[in-house]
């Protein structure tokens, strides 16, 4: 059995960030006041995760600093936080350290400073590769800044991560697609895809109130995220998250004013992916039998069934069959087999 990777998240909400992007109200997003964790709190969090994780059966464990612009923090603060994580690395309990930051706060000098720590991955909040979109979002950097930062990170042998957003002001479907193509050209190891939400007390909330911004519908956001997800899969780039982490404060009516928020946004996208992959095969079957069996790798069962069985319900109604069963088969890696009567069709789950 493949050993799992454990990522221990240390949140530094908005810390170090020199800008207020128009979509951002970090306090509303995190539900926390803007404050840095102490050294003692970081150590306590790491120990807590290690204690609950049965670390002995895990091969890889990382400490990750999220939520702020890590490399914009004062060097003394970076040293304090990284020093705690590095101590766990030196003791063999953690394999490495990861963090997120802005593209304009990655320099050769900063990377020189970081060399004494076991940094393994740096994630850049690129959001878009369209300068007009970046300007409208008050990002404070250009697409070229992201290109340069990405090269610097990869030249040091570190894994590059990229965050992109869907539905930013001034963005069109074509400009979003260009962003995806250019992000792929940067060669990241992993990406995150976030839909733009109108959060209370953000600058975007005021623009929305004035009627100068129209938020994406959930349906449109899922459609665009599916396009991006498919392109990244084709490029063998891991999509490690789609949609914001579901938290209690997002389900309060006053936090998200508008936009495609869904607590299971990523599941909706993955469900749509397997619907798009399997439906054409089902359509091609003449004299489809009343019982359809779909054999998939064990880890894909829920994804193929769809969020809350949406795919099963859709296929049952669309093709007028009595039962569709999705079976997880040990040993399968990527192959999906669709059986109708005595006939079967094989497809690759990675080749949409």
Task: Tell me the average pLDDT across 263-273.
Answer: 95
In this structure, what is the dihedral angle of CA atoms 256, 261, 263, 267, given to the nearest 10 degrees? -170
Parse the chain into domains and list their residue ranges: 5-263, 283-348
Q: In the prediction, which pLDDT does 54 show? A: 58
What does CATH list as the number for 5-263? 3.20.20.70
**pTM, entire model:** 0.90
Name the 3-class secondary structure at 210. coil
Query: CB–CB of 15/37 below 8 Å?
Result: no
Give the tens place of pLDDT for each residue, 43-59: 999 999 988 755 554 56
Task: Tell me the average pLDDT across 64-89.
Answer: 93
Question: Which H or E run includes 80?
Answer: helix 75-90
d(CA 287, CA 340): 9
Q: In the prediction, which pLDDT does 245 show? A: 72
Give the tens place of pLDDT for each residue, 196-227: 999 988 999 999 999 999 999 999 999 999 99
Residue from 125, 278, 103 nearest 193 by CA: 125
- Listing DSSP states for 185-244 in one string gives HH--SEEEEEE--EETTSHHHHHHHTT---PPPHHHHHHHHHHHHHHHHHTT-EEEEESP
The answer on pLDDT for 65 being more than 90 is yes
Give the tens place of pLDDT for each residue, 121-175: 999 999 999 999 999 999 999 999 999 999 999 999 999 999 999 999 999 999 9
Place 1 in a pLDDT band, splitting at 50, 70 and 90: very low
What does CATH list as the number for 283-348? 3.40.30
């Amino acid at each position: 059995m493949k050993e799992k990777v454990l990522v221990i998240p240390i949140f530094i909400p908005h810390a170090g960030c020199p800008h207020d992007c128009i979509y951002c109200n970090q306090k509303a997003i995190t539900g926390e006041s803007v404050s840095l964790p102490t050294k003692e709190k970081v150590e306590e969090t790491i120990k807590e995760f290690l204690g609950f994780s049965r670390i002995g059966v895990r091969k890889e464990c990382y400490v990750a600093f999220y939520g702020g612009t890590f490399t914009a923090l004062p060097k003394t603060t970076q040293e304090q936080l990284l020093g705690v994580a590095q101590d766990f690395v030196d003791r063999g309990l953690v394999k490495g350290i990861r963090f997120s930051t802005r593209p304009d706060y990655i320099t050769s000098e900063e990377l020189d400073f970081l060399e004494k720590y076991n940094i393994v991955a740096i994630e850049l909040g690129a959001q878009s590769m369209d300068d007009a979109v970046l300007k409208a979002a008050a990002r404070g950097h250009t697409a070229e800044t992201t290109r340069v930062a990405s090269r610097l990170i990869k030249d040091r042998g570190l894994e590059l991560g990229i965050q992109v957003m869907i539905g930013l002001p001034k963005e069109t479907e074509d400009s979003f697609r260009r962003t995806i193509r250019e992000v792929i050209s940067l060669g990241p190891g992993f990406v995150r895809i976030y839909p733009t939400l109108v959060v209370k007390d953000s600058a975007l909330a005021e623009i929305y109130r004035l009627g100068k911004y129209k938020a994406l519908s959930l349906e449109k956001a899922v459609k665009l995220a599916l396009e991006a997800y498919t392109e990244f899969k084709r490029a063998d780039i891991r999509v490690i998250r789609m949609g914001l982490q579901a938290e209690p404060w997002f389900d309060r009516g006053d936090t998200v004013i508008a936009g495609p928020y869904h607590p299971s946004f990523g599941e909706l996208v993955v469900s749509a992916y397997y619907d798009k992959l399997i439906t054409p095969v089902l359509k091609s079957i003449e004299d489809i039998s009343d019982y359809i069996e779909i054999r998939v790798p064990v880890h894909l069962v829920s994804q193929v069934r769809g969020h809350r069985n949406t795919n099963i319900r859709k296929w049952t109604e669309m093709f007028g069959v009595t039962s569709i069963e999705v079976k997880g088969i040990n040993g399968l890696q990527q192959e999906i087999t669709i059986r109708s009567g005595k006939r079967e069709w094989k497809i690759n789950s990675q080749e949409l």
